[in-house]
């Protein structure tokens, strides 16, 4: 039985931010789409603004599947996942096993095509950095949205996410913040110029 895509469809059942009170719950499927779009945008920024030659489509695909193993492992809260090196290393081993399990759910002929998504290659290291940055930008955006809804629970998470983004020192993320982040605090009329 080839159950890979049936498993992928279960992303919608994995809730994120389990330790936080949410004004609106976010699931893994929503998060993965947002990370995919932002990773694509970061690569496009790199190409159009910084003279790079990045594979934006590959960045998008990496973003789409970046947390797919959580279908098996669940979403472990960041403070727990990175509590100490032993837990971090153990969790990486669990993620690796989960990725092998997911790959085995594909027909054998297709597995090599998906291998680079689940087993990161050195040649794609910069794209994976962009995906990590997109993941942090998505978290930052979630914090902005929660604050806009009056939820003070995400104030320190917002600051931590922004500090993490800035510490990555990626010019693509700085330009994304400059070009796009302010719009996330706007209402629909402000976003559309009152033409919605």
Tens digit of pLDDT at every position of the chain (196 positions): 799 999 999 999 999 988 888 989 999 999 999 999 999 999 999 999 999 999 999 999 999 999 999 999 876 666 666 667 887 777 688 889 999 999 999 999 999 999 999 988 999 999 999 999 999 999 999 999 999 999 999 999 999 999 999 999 999 999 999 999 999 988 899 999 876 5
Whether the CA torsion 24, 38, 173, 98 is positive or negative: it is: positive
Contact 23, 151 (CB under 8 A): yes
Q: Rounded distance, CA 160 to CA 162, Å?
A: 6
Q: Rounded distance, CA 190 to CA 196, Å?
A: 9
Q: Which domains does the chain have, with CATH numbers?
A: 4-181 (1.10.3210.10)
Whether the CA torsion 101, 43, 34, 22 is positive or negative: it is: positive
How many other CB atoms are found less than 10 A from the CB of residue 51? Answer: 7
DSSP assignment of 159-172, as one string? HHHHHHHHHT--HH
Residue closest to 45 by CA, chosen among 158, 143, 181: 181
Residues 6+ apart with CB under 8 A from 95: 69, 73
Q: Which whole-number Å values give the CA distances from 64 to 6, 41, 52, 122, 182, in the listed order?
A: 15, 13, 22, 19, 24
Residue-level pLDDT at 86 = 82
Residue-level pLDDT at 13 = 94
């Amino acid at each position: 039985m080839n159950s890979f895509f049936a498993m992928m469809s279960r992303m919608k059942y994995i809730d994120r931010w389990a330790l936080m009170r949410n004004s609106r719950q976010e699931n893994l499927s929503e998060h993965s789409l947002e990370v995919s779009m932002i990773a694509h945008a970061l690569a496009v920024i790199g190409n159009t603004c910084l003279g790079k030659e990045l594979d934006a489509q590959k960045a998008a695909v990496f973003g789409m599947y970046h947390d797919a193993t959580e279908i098996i492992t669940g979403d472990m809260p960041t403070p727990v996942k990175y509590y100490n090196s032993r837990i971090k290393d153990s969790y990486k081993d669990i993620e690796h096993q989960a990725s092998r399990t997911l790959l085995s759910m594909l027909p054998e002929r297709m597995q090599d095509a998906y291998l680079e998504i689940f087993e990161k290659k050195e040649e794609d290291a910069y794209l994976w950095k962009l995906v990590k940055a997109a993941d942090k930008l998505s978290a930052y955006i979630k914090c902005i949205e929660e604050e806009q809804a009056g939820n003070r629970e995400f104030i320190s998470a917002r600051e931590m996410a922004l500090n993490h983004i800035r510490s990555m020192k990626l010019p693509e993320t700085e330009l994304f913040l400059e070009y796009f982040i302010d719009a996330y605090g706007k209402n629909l009329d402000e976003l559309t110029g009152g033409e919605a």
